[in-house]
A and B are shown apart, each in its own frame.
Chain A
Amino acid sequence: MLILVDGINKSKFTTILDDMYKLRARVFQDRMGWDVRVTNGREIDEFDELDPAYVICLDDEYEVVGCARLLQTTGPHMLSDVFYDILDGEPPLRSALIWESTRFCVDRDRLAKGTARNSVSYATCELMAGILEYGKNSGISDIITVIDPVMDRVLKRSDNAPYGYVGKTAQMGKVKALAALCDCTDERINKVRAFAGIEGEIFLDEEIVIAAEQARNPGIMESELHSYCDEQLLCATTERERSDALALKDAITEMLRARRMSDA
């Protein structure tokens, strides 16, 4: 199941976003060895400050198990500002109808093997279908996605082979990266859905996710503490203040978790 988090609703999903940043740190730094900046166990870069849209995958227990980040190609995005090696110094595509997808990942530790719900394969396809559907419903014709050769093979295996590539495969730290094109058409969406056996609506209502979050983290006290931490984070003006605020947030989250364990 997916939840769409963007600049409009992100204040309602701070825990989910935080878990997503942690997942990205585990995947891109720890597992894949990308040259990304991780602070206090969270991978956050300057594009996260630009109000991107996140398609976030949740398992049946509403834990974050996958994510992808979308930005318009008309404005600042990774291919224009970071991944220029892929484009060999050439200017990127710029179109109202093309979005860029980056930081696509799933949680291999939490998700099961096989192809059933809550598996790596299913979550991957759900995310792909979600990106394409959100794009299509927004009038977007194509997605350009920055991926590594492994992900490229995953796309091909999932009946979702890119129809084209832009630029070349470039070395990015320890790994290679390339830019692939996928069309946001019913044909492609149906193929991905059919491959994984995904049926019906894949995006969850905001209210359902909020209710599930509250059920997982009961207590007024807790939500007050969380909003205090988030306020501190928002008010932070220097890197130092920011990392202090994150450390405080971590400490409080840990404390609350420990308390819940002892209650149970």
Chain B
Amino acid sequence: MELIDLAATPEGRHDFVDYLSKICNTLDLDYASYASANPVSGKVVAFTTYPDAWRDHYMQKNLHLSDPTLRSAARSIAPVDWSRLEQTKAFGNVFSQAHDFGLPDIGMTVPIRGPYGEIGLFSVTSRTAPQKWAKLKKHIIADLQLSAVYMHDRVMKSDHLLDILRYPALSAREIEILQWVAVGKSQQDIGDILSISPRTVEVHLRSSREKLSALTTSQAVGRAVSMGLIYPG
């Protein structure tokens, strides 16, 4: 397995590393990384906001082959706090080296499973004290889950073939609800119209937003209109 750093290529660098930096700023984190293997070509892509020196060292030493924040975390369905991996030998090996580069070992990896069984790994680290980390984690964990899948879907779609495979599959219910949103109905109204609870409406909307890689509902409506899935309101 060869680690390909898309951050060094002109088209990848801008969007994805920028996105990671923004997440760090917004959620009060120090560094963020993302890695995944392309399910078709098998190529590994990775982006990071880590300092260049550590990135180069990491790649040169092939640390991705043993790094438990990648290898172990890929086997969880939930975000993995790195404290859970501390006891492994590989953890000591990778993080004693990270320590030499002045990098923290407090962090978490969010594993993402995609529709083709591919796995994306979204990691963040923080320099805060362990007690503060526990609090911060609780506060940002849902945002991190959303950001991780958003980033993963974007990376996968940046591959031409996968982009075609990933045409958003919205259900009739999701389309119906987006259509009601487009004509200006509230979630409560839509729930009443369709005889379902407002939270069920919200769950369908959230699913539609994520399938359309939209961050807001109005963005999702805009995309659905442009794809001809619904009529403009």
Q: Which residue of B lies closest to A138 (CB)?
A: B78
Q: Which residue of A lies closest to B73 (CB)?
A: A8
The answer to whether residues A90 and B113 also contact, given A8-B72, A51-B77, A74-B149 and a CB cut-off of 8 A, is no
The answer to whether residues A91 and B141 also contact, given A53-B76, A74-B112, A181-B200 and a CB cut-off of 8 A, is no
Task: Determine the main DSSP class of B at the interface with A.
Answer: helix
Those of A78-105 within 8 Å (CB) of chain B: 80, 87, 90-99
Interface segment, one of A139-147, A196-204, A213-221, A241-249: A139-147
Interface size class of B (residues with CB under 8 A): 35 or more
Closest-CB distance, B136 to chain A (whole angstroms): 13
Quick one: which of B75, B150, B204 has the most chain A CB within 10 A?
B75
Closest-CB distance, A67 to chain B (whole angstroms): 15
Which residue of the partner chain, among B77, B148, B173, B211, contacts A90 with CB atoms under 8 Å?
A: B173
* In contact, A134 and B78 (Cβ under 8 angstroms): yes
Those of B83-131 within 8 Å (CB) of chain A: 84-85, 112-115, 117
* In contact, A90 and B171 (Cβ under 8 angstroms): yes
> Is B25 an interface residue, CB under 8 A from the partner?
no
> Is A177 an interface residue, CB under 8 A from the partner?
no
* In contact, B199 and A181 (Cβ under 8 angstroms): yes
> Is B144 an interface residue, CB under 8 A from the partner?
yes
The answer to whether residues A98 and B78 also contact, given A76-B115, A138-B141, A181-B199 and a CB cut-off of 8 A, is no
Interface string of A52-81 (1 = CB under 8 A from B): 110000000000000000111011100010
> Is B169 an interface residue, CB under 8 A from the partner?
yes
The answer to whether residues A93 and B75 also contact, given A75-B117, A87-B171 and a CB cut-off of 8 A, is no
> Is B64 an interface residue, CB under 8 A from the partner?
no
Chain A contacts of B146 at CB under 8 A? 96-97
The answer to whether residues A8 and B84 also contact, given A134-B78, A163-B200, A164-B197 and a CB cut-off of 8 A, is yes
> Is A50 an interface residue, CB under 8 A from the partner?
yes
> Is B142 an interface residue, CB under 8 A from the partner?
yes
> Is A18 an interface residue, CB under 8 A from the partner?
no
Which residue of the partner chain, among A7, A91, A95, A134, contacts B203 with CB atoms under 8 Å?
A: A95
Closest-CB distance, B56 to chain A (whole angstroms): 29
Q: Which residue of A lies closest to B78 (CB)?
A: A138
Which residue of the partner chain, among A7, A50, A70, A164, contacts B199 with CB atoms under 8 Å?
A: A164
> Is B210 an interface residue, CB under 8 A from the partner?
yes
Which residue of the partner chain, among B138, B171, B210, contacts A96 with CB atoms under 8 Å?
A: B210
The answer to whether residues A52 and B145 also contact, given A76-B117, A95-B210, A164-B199 and a CB cut-off of 8 A, is no
> With A and B bound together, what is the CA distance between A52 and B143 in angstroms?
22
> Is B219 an interface residue, CB under 8 A from the partner?
no
* In contact, A139 and B203 (Cβ under 8 angstroms): no
Quick one: which of B141, B146, B171 has the most chain A CB within 10 A?
B171
Q: Which residue of B lies closest to A77 (CB)?
A: B113
> With A and B bound together, what is the CA distance between A70 and B76 in angstroms?
10
> With A and B bound together, what is the CA distance between A150 and B36 in angstroms?
41
> With A and B bound together, what is the CA distance between A171 and B183 in angstroms?
36
* In contact, B203 and A75 (Cβ under 8 angstroms): no
Q: Which residue of B lies closest to A4 (CB)?
A: B78
| CB-based closest 5 A-B pairs | A7-B75, A75-B113, A164-B200, A139-B141, A91-B169
